Amino acid sequence: MAKETVEALVEGGKATAAPPLGPALGPLGVNIGQVVSAINEKTKDFKGMQVPIKVIVDTDTKQFEITVGTPPVSSLLLKEAGIEKGSSNPLQDRVADVLIEQIIKIAKMKEDSLLGKTLKEKVKEVIGSANSMGILVEGKPAKEAIKLVDEGKFDKEILEEKTELSAEELKKLEEEKKKLAEEIEARRAEFEAKAKAIIEEMKDAEKSAIKAKLREAEIPEQIIKELLPEEAAPAAGGAAAPEKKE
């Protein structure tokens, strides 16, 4: 019983018979339409994302099976939160908020690769990942959200494996995301003004002393780097002196 495997990267729910799938599957004698339909059914929850898939074909019977890889939890969280990247300062700057239904959805998508034995344990793992990205869960930082899970606040949603959100809930999340972005910008402006005042006050001091003062004032490293960029290191051995012509 010979088997051939075709691997490809497809957009979730939107695979077609066009390259790379069609030309690779054609010589194997399978019904390409059936394969594409099966792939789209298995990847429908990953709309808008590139998903690795494998089509394993029995070349004798023309039967096939499909395995679907999943993007990392961080990528799924970004998609659910509707943002392109997580926070560069996650302990202070929160960039988005997600609901428990979205966490459950990700936990179910990644259930085979998460360590937890139960869905509830897997949900807590996903919440932990949200924390390192500056994403709130039900308006709470991860530590508080996990405590609520432990206390049973979301037992009903987890038991029912609820993953769908209403239009009203989605609207509220979008409004919350805008509010968080505005708060980050306001906080950044305050830090920049404070940092510039310190730099001006210490303009005759060594750069290392200024940086120490900025850190003492709890100015974020990113702002320090922008306002006091590192100087380029001189080339090894210094520049060669031009030859003297006789």
| Mean pLDDT, rounded, of the chain | 87
CATH topology of domain 3-68: Ribosomal protein L11, N-terminal domain (3.30.1550)
Mean pLDDT of 129-140: 93
Q: Which two tokens stand for residue 196?
A: 């510039």
Q: Which two tokens stand for residue 222?
A: 């990113």
Beta bridge partners of residue 12, listed in sequence order: 47
Give residue limits of the domains in the chain: 3-68, 73-165, 174-227
Same fold, 3-68 and 73-165: no
Beta bridge partners of residue 160, listed in sequence order: none
Residue 99's nearest CA partner among 140, 129, 54, 151 is 140
In CATH, 73-165 is 1.10.10.250:
yes
The answer to whether the beta carbons of residues 69 and 53 sit under 8 Å apart is: yes
Which residues, other chains included, contact 31 with Cβ-Cβ below 8 Å and sequence gap of 6+? 62
* Beta-strand pair 64-68/50-58: antiparallel
pLDDT in tens, 167-201: 888 888 888 888 888 888 888 899 899 999 999 89
Q: What pTM does this model have?
A: 0.62
